[in-house]
Structure 1
Amino acid sequence: MNLLSWNCRGLGNLRTVRILGDLIKSLNPAFVFLSETLVDKGTIAELCLKPRFADFFAVDKVGRGGGLAVLWKHTVECKIMDHSNNHINVHFIENNCPVWRLSCYYGFPERSRKHNAWNFLRRLAMDTNMPWCIFGDFNDLLYSTDKRGEHPHPPGLLEGFREAIEGCNLVELELKGGQFTWEKSKGKTNWVKEKLDRAFATEEWWRKFPLWFKEEVSVYWRSLPATNIIPKLMSVSEFMAKWGRAFFHKFRDKVRCQKEVLNSLVNREDDAGVKLYFEEREKLNELLLHEEVYWKQRAKTFWLQEGDANSRYFHAQASKRRRLNKIPHLINDEGLRVEGQEEMNTMTNEYFTNIFTASETLSEKEAIVDQHIITETQNERLVADVSFEEFTEAVK
């Protein structure tokens, strides 16, 4: 399902409406969130009919500013749970049950209200234990490289927003396209660009929607020969572990490459070289910060008062969790302890082979009786294709 979030900055003119129509036509979103509509519900109702959306919900503008709206198509089953001038909470429904929550968010633009915005995010995080995703215009920056312009963003505001995101146990979704989502005074000496629009999700949401990882595993599964199910599961489990290390543990290589870029510029004395040096140094600082946040989230520990930014403590906590999740040994039918990966693999294979292999000692009468133990409905479930969700749960 495609979702679109856009700060349209006013739907009162035809130019903006045309741009929105083009976005909907090219991206074909099933669900759309619009912030700063600057119009009332009547205008949103008219807009809803043109792209043939099934329904909508709107929050009227306040004075000359504000206004939120969500629109969805017939393929989407959802329910509006609550709202304010800065958010709309939506529950998405499957089989008549809510399965995940989406918060459509518009952050306070005033710097004096940033603490209110961060506390508001924390309250949203405590609303439910469902898988949660939040997206929209946060009017906030996570890193110094999220802004390009004359005046840098205050470090205290950067840190405050990061602490709020980490405290909500949120992980950012990677966006495609340009680095910045807002700008003013384009082409002039005071040109400013910022990354204000973002999307985050909890660990539970990521497990429900593993995105490209699902496709990676599916492709690998199809590439394996059609042999016994146990070797295939073991092979895919090993693939998933390697993929996770490759995807999440590239920080060290990225930091090394960035340091090399920085060293190549250290002796530059021309204006362009000095400017480029400071830009690349900021990129290095951002990489180090990303690594710190990653280890904090992996360790599921969300505090860091002071000390080494490399955070040996968080590495230790994450490694401890990994040891706890590992199976060190198995006990066989004779009560003996079996250790070693190869021995445990053999024991597991033999165990399931014995379970699923028909016994040769059954008499003909016993076999006939056993045929009626499983109902037709149960048999249909047994021979049905394994879903991706069942597979993922089995190899965790």
Structure 2
Amino acid sequence: MTGFYGHRPTTSERHHSWELLRRLVHMYPNLPWLIFGDFNEILRDEEKSEGRLRPLCQIQRFSSVVADCALKEVEFRGPLFTWSNGTVSERLDRGFLNPEGASLFPNALVQHLDVGASDHLPLLHNLQGEVSGRKERVHRRFLFESFWTKDEQCTKIVTNTWGNDSLVSVQEKIKDCAENLQQWNKEVIGCVPKKINALKESLQKFPIGVATEAEKQQREAIKEELEKLYSYEETIWKVRSRLNWLQEGDNNTKFFHAYAKGRGRQNKVEGVFNENGVWCDSMSEVQQAFVEYFSNIYRSEGCVDMELVLNSIPCKVTEVVGDSVSEFCLKVLNEGEDLTNVNHIFISMIPKVTKPK
């Protein structure tokens, strides 16, 4: 761990700071390293507000030394700027990890604390990735797992639920079907990785070359169940990784898992900046920021050819639920059926940058 201070009085002397940084990074090349402090320089134009524009050559020199040293910037939470003289604001303070440090602490975070009388904000580093303040617990919504379709019981549950005459509306059938699938998944499917480990332990009791016919059958039954669970596991991580170009069946589970974990870290949003540039990380603040931003985006100005739009939407309704869903949609279009109970939207943000905020 190293505290760093960039040369401030004259920018022409700042190259000494960058040369020092290059020497430091090569002193212990194989050890995890965190370097943080006041670098007295910015990496991007948006890290300065008001005042004269920062010369591009200065930014490029700082960027070059970061690249030459293979340093990874530690994700921050809080206000963008860390220094202000009352007029000009800049982000001069930050932290970096070398490749070994980034591998050891992939979720490291630094929080910009807006406290104290200094013209610099203090930095609170947490290598485990947790920032101060309690996070509100979010109720997890129902998610249909694609690997369920590999089990015949899934189809039976959907068919039986949809054929239940006591459930009149589509809303009731959707709700009941989701609850039944979740219960079945919990009681029958269970935690796939744990089941795999348990079966692997059981398989050790029946090694290759077991003597009796009963033991051979037991071994084959365990192997068959393992093969099914491996298929489930691979499908789970393939969906989470979203690597549609890589086919299942080639024992790619570890690759899918690693890719999904990395993608999850990259896409995770701890908070957002609202339209006024204020950092929001509580549930209510983030909700309000999204409402303000999207209130004028998702608004229709009318459609010239609705038939063309509808014909462009691929049909995904199965034979089991098709009639009920089609009937409900026709009631909405022709009779003004109330959509209040089903008109829920989950907005999925597709990040255009790494580590979105």
Same topology, TM > 0.5: no
TM-score scaled by structure 2? Answer: 0.36
Determine which structure has the larger strand proportion and give its number.
1
TM-score scaled by structure 1? Answer: 0.32
* Structure with bigger RCO (C-alpha 8 Å, 6+ apart): 2
Q: Which protein is bigger by CA-based radius of gyration?
A: 2
